[in-house]
């Protein structure tokens, strides 16, 4: 994926590297400085094409130790060269080449280099904003929509999984046209597949329960603060829609099942009524008879009792169907309530500039001590050798 | 760097950086970026030389006269004429060959001890 090379992170990196070349001795810099800067520019271009900001950061992590170690080596080589010429006597009295002076110079150089690089990387890294929408969720009743909700120990975990599923996120991708928008933004205009966008979206999504409440925080990270808020709100709405749809579909299925049951009961009732009429005529029982219970009439009364039971059951089914129909007409938004809508963040949450610069100071101090100590030790060794040579001359 | 007049073997063994740069230049003259790419390609990306290491090595190789700067340029339409090209000297070629032979002998020794097998 080729990218426009004239961008800020690359320009800052190259400028910083050119400045850092001052760590090398002047002669080395004059001879190879421009070639090194050109090579770094080529490496920057490759790193950017490979992984944008992350590639540049990896390049710096590789180049910085290289720069520190080779600049120390070149400085020591230059120092040694100078000593071997005819400067040994004066070197004994020159403060700039004493181990202490070298320690201070190297320490300051390494400390500044590390700090500058840490700061540069912090400002090169893409900024990320976070926006959070909060929703209140109620579990669905296990025995059907008409029942009251019951306790479900897996409810929150199930909600998290559903919120991150295609059922909820695909409508968000469609609504915000993320396949096209992210294709333009990150993949040189190439429209993404929904599965690719889904993976990217999941990476930017964080769900967390709000302790001791029924609230869930939906946090979305993006380099665009408005986009982060839009996506977080869209996910909250998509989850609410999913729950409404789910409850409506469940109610419809239940009504359908009960209606079939009602029909079946009705057929049975008709059959029993017909049998009852046949028995009544056969046994010559008056249609309004209630008291006479001669033994030969028992089958008739048993059948009548059976009919009464069936009628009661049918009435119960009818009541349930009516209750479900009524429930289906009521708004279902109560199951999921968007408590707080996401707002665009005021400041980026990543990178943490203060922390990064602080780490730069700590790492710079440590590396400075290490490099300064090594250089001073080496200078002390070379200095002693030089003094011996001078003494023997 | 030792004096090349004492013979190529006096310079051995070479450091990995020096050997890889000489190997890269054994394929013809190259500029710094091309050397770096050749080294990275030849080592499956395991060795990615930074500018400091590369030009420090180049400097020492120039001082030891194992390589020299080339005045010739490829087609200027195809390349940036500000780039500096380097090529092996005769001594440099002898040294890299001697080092390659040394590696080959080590490989043979390892094969003799059945540490590695001959490629199929």
Cβ-nearest to B33 among A34, A42, A70: A42
At B78, the pLDDT band (50, 70, 90 cuts) reads low
Residue A299, both tokens: 């089958």
Residue B24 lies in a domain: yes
Cβ-defined contact of B52 to A43 (cutoff 8 Å): no
Residue B74 to chain A, least CA–CA distance (Å): 17
Q: Tell me which chain A residues have a C-beta less than 8 angstroms from the C-beta of B32.
A: 35-36, 38-39
pLDDT higher than threshold 70 for residue A144: no
Please check whether residue B40 touches A, CB under 8 A: no
pTM over 0.80: no
Number of domains comprising chain B: 1
Can you tell me the mean pLDDT for B63-71?
90
Residue B107 lies in a domain: yes
Cβ-defined contact of A67 to B48 (cutoff 8 Å): no
Cβ-defined contact of A67 to B50 (cutoff 8 Å): yes
Residue B3 lies in a domain: no
Distance between CA atoms of residues B22 and B65, nearest Å: 12
Our CA angle for A384, A385, A388, nearest 5°, is 85
Beta bridge partners of A205: A220
The lowest-confidence range among A198-207, A293-302, A369-378, B92-101 is: A293-302
Chain A's closest residue to B51, CA to CA, is A36
pLDDT at residue A382 in the model: 66
DSSP label of B12: P
Can you tell me the mean pLDDT for A9-18?
88
pLDDT higher than threshold 60 for residue A90: no
Please check whether residue B15 touches A, CB under 8 A: no
Contact yes or no for B29/B85 (Cβ under 8 A) = yes
CATH of the domain at B27: 1.10.10.10
The lowest-confidence range among A20-29, A279-288, B37-46 is: A279-288
Please check whether residue B54 touches A, CB under 8 A: yes
CB within 8 Å of chain B, chain A residues 69-98: 69-71, 73-74
Residue B76 to chain A, least CA–CA distance (Å): 17
The lowest-confidence range among A141-155, A246-260, B45-59 is: A141-155
Distance between CA atoms of residues A179 and A181, nearest Å: 6
Residue B77 to chain A, least CA–CA distance (Å): 18
pLDDT at residue A84 in the model: 61
pLDDT higher than threshold 90 for residue A86: no
Residue B60 lies in a domain: yes
Residue B44 lies in a domain: yes
Where in the sequence is the domain holding B34, given as residue range(s)?
Answer: 13-112
Distance between CA atoms of residues A287 and A280, nearest Å: 7
CB within 8 Å of chain B, chain A residues 147-166: none
The lowest-confidence range among A168-172, A187-191, A285-289, B93-97 is: A285-289
Please check whether residue A49 touches B, CB under 8 A: no
At A121, the pLDDT band (50, 70, 90 cuts) reads confident
pLDDT at residue A138 in the model: 84
Q: Tell me which chain B residues have a C-beta less than 8 angstroms from the C-beta of A35.
A: 32, 51, 55, 83-84
**DSSP percent split of chain B into helix, strand, coil, nearest 5:** 55, 10, 40
Residue B7 lies in a domain: no
Question: How much is the ipTM here?
Answer: 0.86
The 10 Å Cβ neighbour count of residue A389 is 12
Q: How far is CA A292 from the centre of its chain?
A: 80
Chain A's closest residue to B47, CA to CA, is A62
Residue A320, both tokens: 């349930």
Q: Tell me which chain B residues have a C-beta less than 8 angstroms from the C-beta of A70.
A: 50, 52-53, 56
CB within 8 Å of chain A, chain B residues 91-120: none
Residue B57 lies in a domain: yes
Q: What is the pLDDT of residues A225-279, one digit of tens each?
A: 999 999 999 999 999 999 888 888 888 898 999 999 999 999 999 999 898 888 8
The lowest-confidence range among A81-85, A244-248, A279-283, A354-358 is: A81-85
pLDDT higher than threshold 50 for residue A389: no
Q: Tell me which chain A residues have a C-beta less than 8 angstroms from the C-beta of B39.
A: none
Cβ-defined contact of B59 to A71 (cutoff 8 Å): no
Contacts with B19 (C-beta within 8 Å, 6 or more apart), sequence order: B96, B99
Residue B70 lies in a domain: yes
- Strand locations in chain A (E): 129-137, 205-209, 215-222, 336-340
Please state, for a pLDDT cut of 90, what percent of chain B lies above it. Answer: 57
At A95, the pLDDT band (50, 70, 90 cuts) reads very low
Can you tell me the mean pLDDT for A287-298?
74
Cβ-defined contact of A67 to B56 (cutoff 8 Å): no
Cβ-nearest to A66 among B52, B59, B84: B52
Look over chain A and give the mean of its residue pLDDT values, rounded to a whole number: 83
């Amino acid at each position: 994926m080729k990218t426009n090379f004239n961008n800020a992170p690359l320009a800052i990196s190259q400028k910083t590297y050119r400045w850092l070349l001052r760590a090398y001795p002047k002669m080395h810099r004059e001879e190879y400085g421009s070639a090194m800067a050109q090579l770094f520019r080529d490496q920057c271009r490759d790193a950017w094409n490979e992984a944008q900001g992350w590639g540049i950061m990896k390049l710096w992590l590789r180049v910085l130790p290289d720069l520190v170690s080779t600049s120390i080596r070149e400085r020591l080589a230059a120092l040694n060269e100078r000593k071997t010429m005819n400067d040994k006597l004066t070197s004994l009295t020159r403060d700039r080449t004493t181990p202490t002076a070298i320690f201070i110079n190297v320490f300051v150089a390494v400390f500044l280099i590390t700090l500058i690089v840490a700061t540069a990387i912090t400002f090169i890294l893409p900024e990320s904003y976070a926006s959070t929408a909060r929703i209140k969720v109620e579990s669905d009743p296990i025995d059907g929509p008409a029942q009251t909700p019951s306790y479900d120990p897996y409810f929150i975990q199930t909600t998290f999984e559903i919120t991150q599923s295609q059922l909820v996120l695909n409508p968000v991708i469609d609504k915000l046209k993320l396949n096209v928008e992210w294709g333009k933004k990150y993949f040189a205009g190439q429209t993404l597949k929904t599965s690719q966008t889904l993976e990217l979206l999941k990476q930017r999504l964080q769900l967390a329960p709000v302790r001791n409440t029924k609230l869930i925080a939906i946090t979305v990270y993006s380099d665009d603060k408005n986009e982060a808020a839009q996506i977080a709100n869209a996910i909250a709405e998509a989850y609410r829609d999913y729950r409404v749809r789910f409850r409506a579909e469940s109610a419809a299925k239940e009504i359908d099942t009960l209606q079939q049951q009602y029909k079946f009961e009705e057929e049975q009732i008709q059959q029993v009524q017909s049998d009852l009429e046949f028995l009544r005529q056969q046994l010559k029982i008056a249609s309004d008879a209630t008291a006479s219970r001669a033994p030969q009439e028992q089958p008739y009364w048993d059948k009548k009792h059976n009919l009464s039971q069936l009628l009661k059951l049918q009435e119960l089914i009818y009541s349930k169907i009516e209750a479900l129909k009524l429930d289906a007409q009521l708004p279902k938004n109560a199951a999921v309530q968007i408590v707080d809508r996401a707002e665009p963040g005021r400041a980026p949450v990543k990178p943490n500039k203060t922390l990064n610069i602080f780490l730069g100071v700590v790492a710079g101090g440590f590396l400075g001590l290490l490099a300064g100590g090594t250089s001073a030790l080496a200078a002390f060794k070379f200095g002693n050798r030089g003094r011996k040579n001078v003494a023997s001359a | 760097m030792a004096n090349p007049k004492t013979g190529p073997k006096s310079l051995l063994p070479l450091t990995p950086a020096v050997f890889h740069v000489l190997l890269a230049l054994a394929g013809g003259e190259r500029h710094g970026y091309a050397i770096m790419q050749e080294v990275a390609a030849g080592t499956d990306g395991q060795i990615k030389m930074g500018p400091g290491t590369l030009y420090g090595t180049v400097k020492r190789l120039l001082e030891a006269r194992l390589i020299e700067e080339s005045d010739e340029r490829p087609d200027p339409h195809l390349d940036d004429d500000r780039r500096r090209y380097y090529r092996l000297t005769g001594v440099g070629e002898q040294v890299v060959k001697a080092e390659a032979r040394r590696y080959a002998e080590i490989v043979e020794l390892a094969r003799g001890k059945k540490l590695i097998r001959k490629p199929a």
